[in-house]
Amino acid sequence: MKCFMAYLAHETNSFSPIPTDLSSFEEVGIYRPAVGAPAQHMGLLKGVADFLRVAQRRGDEAVVGLCALAQPSLPCLGRDYVAMRDEILAQLAAAGPVDMVLLFMHGSMMAQGCEDCEGDMLERVRALVGPAVPVGVLLDLHCNVTPAMVRHATIIKACKEYPHTDFAARAEELYELVAATAAGKVRPAMAFRRVPMLGLFQTTREPMRSFVDDVLATERSPGVLSITLAHGFPWADFAHTGAGVIAITDGDLPLAQRLADHWGRQFFALREAGQVEGLAIGAALDAALARSTGTVVIADMSDNPGGGAASDSTFLLRAMLERGVRDAAVGLLWDPVAVRLAFAAGEGAVVPLRIGGKLGPGSGAPIDVEVIVKHLRTDASQPHIADGSATALGRTAVVEACGIEVVLNEIRQQPFHPDAFVGAGVDPWSKRVVVVKSSFHFNAGFAERAAAVLYCDAPGTLGGDARLRPYRHITRPIWPLDEVKM
């Protein structure tokens, strides 16, 4: 079996203050086949690394194309998207006849001039390989599924867990399904049901935990090949924003449609109970300070760079300074200018520093404060949520202001793991309060040792109230903007 695989992923936030171009992908790291053997670059391959491991185990021939990922932000510069897309298409054409194609994409990527990059890519891949070659695509569950994706892919799967701890398992399932299709052992029939709602649904909590377990059990039923809950990415403003269910059966399209309809209605019924209600800043700090032992972790959900925020907002930090909160840490606060100044001042220096608040209204006002430069690092990293690979944070500077240690860094990303703090020089477990600029992914690494985890809906780019977002293009009605029946 000969398999072509490639990876182009970006979660596009229409309301982000940050533009996206090729350099956004280069910052995270791009794998190009000419650079060397894939095995030496597994960290750059992300989901494709999981495909590659299955191919090697099966003894299949794998041809790996471009693999590129950027942090969430605004739609990609049109010419840079087209260049990366065409690079993958040229690599597929150059590979000669293949038995199957596997792509890893986000599922809510937009570019200037193309609001459905996954649908566009799949249409062009389909045109190249023809109708007989199965094309599988693995998505993030925060995907906005479009008719073009469903039309041109043979099999669409997404991760099932949020935090996304199951990409490897889903990649393996997708590979085996697509390979079985190529071998003529199954005939996938895929149906999609849109679920008109906007929200974030963490799967480690009830009722979502039991719901996902029920879906996993149904996938093992005779004739059922796959059921995917697409949670949607609410900050993409286009016609197909929203949740959905993709059901795939072995040759039985009516059954696939019935399953998609059934699970779509069940998912819709959880629209309120399935979401985390974020606390206001004051309430979150009250609850954190009420505990006398252990470390309380507060998620600054609205400033999560993993959803397209700048991660330099100051709303929570300002409130902590005003209340005199001590023995606390805040990170990762993306402020390359402040990092540069801290490096120039040197470890141990006491200097006035302007922190954060630089990217726009969602960042709040900058904080001017005297700080002690505590730790400067050039090698801090953290294990990535998807595959555990070491992910560089850029240069980091830990500065202390009035008993609060702020981890400033140069490469915008959310803390997946306590190592994001430890590598920069801060032991989070020695603190009373730790603020993480993340929505849920941090939970996988922090929940076990935290005395409590609190979710804060501070002002910011990813504020939790959908009714406050300036949508112009999404399809109405959609919950919670409208009353919807399903």
Q: Which is closer to Zn ion, CB of 139 or CB of 408? A: 139
Choose the binding region for Zn ion from 137-145, 282-290, 360-368, 463-471 (rule: CB under 5 A): 137-145
Cα separations (Å) of 37 from 124, 253, 263, 369, 431? 26, 41, 42, 49, 43
Q: According to CB under 5 A, which one of 41, 85, 142, 374 is a site residue for Zn ion?
A: 142
Q: What contacts 354, CB < 8 A, 6 or more positions away?
A: 338, 366, 367, 368
- State in angstroms the smallest separation of the CB of 140 from Zn ion: 4
- Choice between 142 and 374, CB closer to Zn ion: 142
- Stretches 42-50, 73-81, 140-148, 279-287: which one binds Zn ion (CB under 5 A)? 140-148
Of residues 104 and 315, the one with the C-beta less far from Zn ion: 104
Closest CA to 377 of 332, 414, 436, 433: 332
Cβ proximity to Zn ion: between 55 and 141 the closer is: 141
The Cα 185–Cα 152 span in angstroms is 20
Q: State in angstroms the smallest separation of the CB of 75 from Zn ion.
A: 18
Question: CA 430 to CA 386: how far, in whole Å?
Answer: 27
Q: CB 348 → Zn ion: shortest distance, Å?
A: 40
| Helices and strands (H, E) in the chain, number of each type | 14, 18
DSSP per residue, 327-395: SEEEEEEE-HHHHHHHHHH-TT-EEEEEES--SSGGG---EEEEEEEEEEES--EEE-TTT--EEE--S
Q: Which stretch binds Zn ion (CB under 5 A): 38-46, 68-76, 133-141, 240-248?
A: 133-141
Point out which span in 135-143, 357-365, 417-425, 426-434 binds Zn ion (CB under 5 A).
Answer: 135-143
CB of 233 to Zn ion, least distance (A): 7
Q: Residues in contact with Zn ion, total (CB under 5 A)?
A: 2
Residue with tokens 């906007």: 198
Q: Phi and psi for 278 in degrees, rounded to 5?
A: -80, 145
Which residue, 81 or 233, has its beta carbon nearer to Zn ion?
A: 233
- Considering the complex, what minimum distance in angstroms separates the CB of residue 55 from Zn ion? 25
Closest to Zn ion by CB, 3 vs 309, is 309
Q: How near is the Cβ of 141 to Zn ion at its closest, in Å? A: 6
Query: What is the number of the residue whose Cβ is closest to Zn ion?
Result: 142
The runs of H, that is alpha helices, within 130-252 are 147-152, 167-182, 208-219
Peptide bond into 332 cis (omega under 30): yes
DSSP conformation letters of 390-420: EEE--SEEEEEETTEEEEEESS-----STHH
Burial track 348-378 (b if 16+ CB lie within 10 A, e otherwise): ebeeebebbbbbeebbbebbebebbbbbbbe
Q: Say how far apart CA 197 and CA 260 lie, in whole Å.
A: 15
Distance CA 133, CA 103 (A): 13
Q: Which is nearer to Zn ion, 140 or 237 (CB)?
A: 140
Report the C-alpha gap between 322 and 324 in whole angstroms: 5
Q: How far is the CB of 441 from Zn ion (least distance, A)?
A: 8
Query: 310 is written with which tokens?
Result: 């700048």
Q: Which is nearer to Zn ion, 230 or 285 (CB)?
A: 230
The region of 88-96, 142-150, 212-220, 315-323 touching Zn ion under the rule CB under 5 A is 142-150
Min CB(386)–Zn ion separation in Å: 10
Task: Tell whether residue 140 is a contact of Zn ion (CB under 5 A).
Answer: yes
For Zn ion, the closer of residues 140 and 303 by Cβ is 140
DSSP for residue 197: B
Among 1-9, 141-149, 234-242, 426-434, which window interacts with Zn ion (CB under 5 A)? 141-149
- Of 140 and 419, which has the nearer Cβ to Zn ion? 140
Contact stretch for Zn ion (CB under 5 A) within 47-55, 134-142, 236-244, 297-305:
134-142
Q: Min. distance of Cβ 171 from Zn ion in angstroms?
A: 15
We find the least distance from the C-beta atom of residue 408 to Zn ion, in angstroms, to be: 25
Nearest to 435, CA basis, from 414, 449, 459:
414
Q: Which stretch binds Zn ion (CB under 5 A): 17-25, 136-144, 169-177, 214-222?
A: 136-144
Shortest Å distance, C-beta 27 to Zn ion = 19
Which residues contact Zn ion by CB under 5 A?
A: 140, 142
